[in-house]
Structure 1
């Protein structure tokens, strides 16, 4: 996407380098090149992968673009004025998968001759992170407390009353960083001890006592970097929240180390304000008009996963996990080539594959499922929760249908058209289901419940070396009670990590009893 004026000399390179490489040149409409909202929409619409902008303009784009709008970016280039160092923190906090390059030269003669590729900062998709050597535990605990004070969600408390659940936010709250030395143990013993400690900490949550955060710092001796374990109750965070929290934690730590007052980016819309607006939206005519759409979404019945399986209780204890992985070549084909050929989003492709798989499995041409999305939709131009910590996830039912021609390309276009027709990205269903009048809530609650959940988490590529925190995969124990009943029979969760599709799935409980559902991995 080209934002600079045609009169600017370096624009020539941006134009012709793009076209000579077979790329598509995206130009904002006259007057839109300084309109952050329009630019964000253009990035999402055209699936822009590279952009060149002034650092000041790019910072505004990061700050005000709604969540998810910029996810297609792979490289952001800034030039034309001095780039502030902390821009990299904001960039990688929003777009951990995208590179950030500064092409601003100290003189006119060095523009395009010198550049600096900012190293990535932290990603927020993991609760376990290896730390850079030399981190000070006391400074880290101070930074954690600043994090808790800054984000109200971490200080939320939940009380059960005769009228239901009530929610509050405490003020005087402190976070404790447990320090645990495992330096004298072997690596395998250390991993076991960390998993056991993680499980123990997860069992200490009390919804009536904040903060709903636990932290432990493990000393693993001279041969392994220290390990930081962070656990936050799911009631107060989602995947986007992790990115915000970890970026703020590093920023706070750096300020504590040099003795500066901690100043963190303030959310433009608080969680309380968002909740209040949702309650108002439930009475809005626009949302009320959606009721008929949602009542017509589900068929009269659609049960096939749990058929003949009634003796097996659908609890977390009876669930199992299966992971299917695509290599980098196939992943790139899904993310790039499919989009170029069909102008689709990755959700369209993955859901078409899931629909095709269930058709082969069950013989049905339609599929009722729950779609999970980040929920931070632009329902009001005055609301911006892109930097707000909380659980915003939206969940709604929808029915997909194969094309009559049995051609996968036709089915892909049909699924794409259906998904794009869902009003307001599906957020209206939850608003009506839980906040509307009694009649509407009862009608939606009576609909058939999907047996399958689908959630695409996006690109969560691991960070490169040089960050204070390097997220790692580690066994942190179950994040739920094993006796909890599952809402769905089959959960399908997909993400892109390190350029590949690792696709963990939670199959039906009968998988535990040696009866694998053939062909359910798409």
Structure 2
């Protein structure tokens, strides 16, 4: 057995053929672990549903095709290698333009009628001690926004109705500003100003700023949440890293083939909304909606919740604790990380409120395989699905509570994607009464 191998409880066996070798290499890259054997369990190594999407995406680049459910049903490489298909979907690589249906999460966003709709971004600040090459970076980002069509969206408000428009590649793709000699305080102020300057109607929804300092360069990438999510950032970072190196070396930028466009996904979701599968799910969501859950106790009610009034409470786990949580805890009851974290959340809230049933709004990546001949593993956009779950915290011992949480999560049809589809897209839109006050979102590892 190789030195430094993580103990998953499986006997080490080396890859026996090219497919298994390639899969081992992909798993090691995605999970950042060496010496993976073909009997090792993906989830015991710290894998989760987001990482499984990354594995599938990288396997496709090498000509191997399988689905998320294949990893869940065959969680070691020996079993998974038997599910590999060779025939790929033929997906158009043409530029996507025109009006795009709003998806459930986007309809939710506009329904909320936020005062500062334009300032609802996701952003990262990258740092390079050696500095960034501006021209190479510009070429890289131009290639990325031409390739990932949804990053060119704008949102037109016509008499109170929102229209999502995918602009062409001839229009302005992004804003880039370069600043030199600013203090840390001035950089922070400038970032706030840039974040608030996105115009949803006119675009672009991508803002870049390069801050050159004597210690190195800081690069702000701010993108409106309407066109990006956690999985999309992973795709963007992967493409940016490759495209920037190609541009620096003077090469033509070639990115991995496009997967199904956000535009097509939105159309297919709307069709799916009135399918037999969706009607079957109505029974489940109606049952959940009948739960009687009390509101959380508060010192005072607030009419309007504002970001400035929010408080953040954070804590860190040590490297050893993180390792145990991600790679060892799940072995006891064959769980995923969300099962364990949600059990802990339910216990904590129940202890505080004295209530048995705890209502939580659960967010997930929303890239479920609900439509045939659609592949969105490398599509950038806002795919998040959110749905209510009721966590039951009784006086049972901890092991039983973990099992109960796991079982209740497995009963949710299609990881909850149907809830938003029924609520916002089906012809017989259903009014749900449950309004969770707690939101849970496991973002995985970056």
TM range (shorter): 0.7 to 0.9
Greater alpha carbon shift after TM alignment, 250-259 vs 289-298: 250-259
Write out aligned runs for 1:181-192 (5 A).
Answer: 181-182=180-181, 190-192=183-185
User: Contact 1:295–1:447 at 8 Å: present in 2 too?
Assistant: no
Secondary structure of the residue aligned to 1:437 is coil
Unpaired runs of at least 5, structure 2: 28-37, 48-55, 78-121
**Is the aligned partner of 1:208 residue 2:201?**
yes
**1:290 aligned residue (281, 288, 291):** 281
Q: 1:304, 1:362 within 8 Å by CA — same for their partners in 2? A: no
Superposition deviation, residue 132 in structure 1: 5.0
* Higher radius of gyration, 1 or 2: 1
Is the counterpart of residue 434 in structure 1 residue 424 in structure 2?
yes
Look up the match of 1:173: 171
Query: In the aligned structure 2, how far is the partner of 1:66 from the partner of 1:178?
Result: 41
Structure-2 change in CA distance of 1:334 and 1:60 (3 Å): closer
Equivalent residue in structure 2 for 1:453, among 421, 425, 439 = 439
- Per-residue deviation at 1:142? 2.1
Q: Is the 8 A contact 2:360 2:440 kept in 1?
A: yes
After TM superposition, which residue ranges in structure 1, 4 or more long, deviate above 4 angstroms? 16-19, 25-28, 42-46, 61-71
Distance 1:401 1:26, change over 3 A: farther
Corresponding residue number in structure 2 for 1:47: 43
Which residue of structure 2 aligns with residue 416 of structure 1?
406
Structure 2: distance between partners of 1:248 and 1:240: 13
- Secondary structure of the equivalent of 1:399? strand
Query: For residue 83 of structure 2, what is the aligned residue in structure 1?
Result: none
1:228 alignment partner in structure 2? 219
* Structure 2 counterpart of 1:265: 256
Number of the residue aligned with 1:158: 155
- Structure 1 unpaired stretches of 5+: 1-12, 52-56, 77-124, 461-522
Residue 181 of structure 2 corresponds to residue 195 of structure 1: no
Alignment of 1:376 onto 2:367: yes
Q: Please state whether the residue corresponding to 2:130 is helix, strand or coil.
A: coil
Contact 2:363 2:439 in 1 (8 A): yes
Taking the aligned partners of 1:303 and 1:44, their CA distance within structure 2 comes to 44
> In the alignment, what sits opposite 1:81?
none
- Relative to 1, partners in 2 of residues 1:158 and 1:301: Cα closer, same or farther, differing over 3 Å? same
Matched-pair contact (CA < 8 Å) for 2:207–2:223: yes
- Matched with 2:397 is 407
Does structure 2 retain, via aligned residues, the 8 Å contact 1:18–1:24?
A: no
Distance 1:408 1:217 in 2: 50
SS of match in other structure, 1:400: strand
Helix, strand or coil at the partner of 1:325: coil
What is the Cα deviation at residue 390 of structure 1? 0.1
Q: 1:357 aligns with which of 341, 348, 351?
A: 348
**1:129 paired residue among 95, 114, 126:** 126
Distance 2:222 2:213 in 1: 19
What is the CA distance between 1:290 and its match in structure 2?
Answer: 0.2
Bigger mean CA deviation after superposition, 418-427 or 296-305: 296-305
Residue 50 of structure 1, CA deviation: 9.7
What TM-score do the two structures reach when normalised by structure 1? 0.64
Check whether the contact 1:67–1:376 (CA below 8 A) recurs between aligned residues.
no
* SS of match in other structure, 2:332: helix
Structural mapping, 1:240-279, within 5 Å: 240-279=231-270
